[in-house]
Amino acid sequence: MQAFISHAGRVAALPRANVDTDQIIPKQFLKRIERTGFGECLFYDWRYLADGSSNPDFELNRPAAADATILLAGANFGCGSSREHAPWALSDYGFRAIVAPSFADIFFGNCCQNGLLPVVLPELEVKELLRRAAGAQKFYQLGIDLKSCRVRDGAGFDVGFVIDPYRREMLLHGLDEIGRTLQQESRIAAFERSRLASREASVS
């Protein structure tokens, strides 16, 4: 898993609340088990028209969102089913972080498990970011620092955010739950040896 320490990138604004995982990655694309290749299917029903052509009215298809790596979204982002394919699709598309007033709990955890940073900011702060993104001449850029837990735009916006220390450490070191467990491999092996020795002693 790719570590997240700090990142600066262009912003794609998606000012919609209650964006569910079925919109993020529709169910017809869930047959694959690999984590790659889902980016082209991200927001499929919104990105494309019935004839397969690009929908010019969808936010991510607008020129200002080109090459965006930070998604700015509305409240309760990632609600609906618990499919892990949703953060896979967002990451494969190129996003490294999502900023929103709130996230669905399971989606939040799945993001952290896959190196995608979910940043919770107060709704007023998100509205200010949306305002700044809408007023940008070409594109809007943000910097997110996980070490200091700050979001900045270089033009006066500078706010802190809170994230659980356990998830923060996982992201900073590029570890999922399995990787975190493997850090204790020597202790686990020692415990297993002691258990085996104890059983052997009791048998003899």
Q: Which pTM does this prediction carry?
A: 0.86
Q: What is the C-alpha end-to-end distance of the chain, expressed in Å? A: 46
Six token digits for residue 133: 């993104």
* Tokens (6 digits) for 135: 């007023």
pLDDT at site 11: 98
- Tokens at residue 29, please? 């694309």
> What local confidence, expressed as pLDDT, does residue 178 receive?
55
- Where the chain has pLDDT below 50, the residues are none
- pLDDT at position 31, please? 82
Angle 123-126-129 (CA atoms, 0-180°, nearest 5)?
A: 155
pLDDT of residue 182: 52
Per-residue pLDDT, 192: 66
Measured N-to-C along each axis, helices 105-113 and 85-93 cross at an angle, to the nearest 10 degrees, of 50
Residue type, position 106, single letter: I
Q: In whole angstroms, how large is the CA radius of gyration of the chain? A: 20
For each of the domains in the chain, give its residue range(s) and CATH number, in order of start: 6-173 (3.20.19.10)
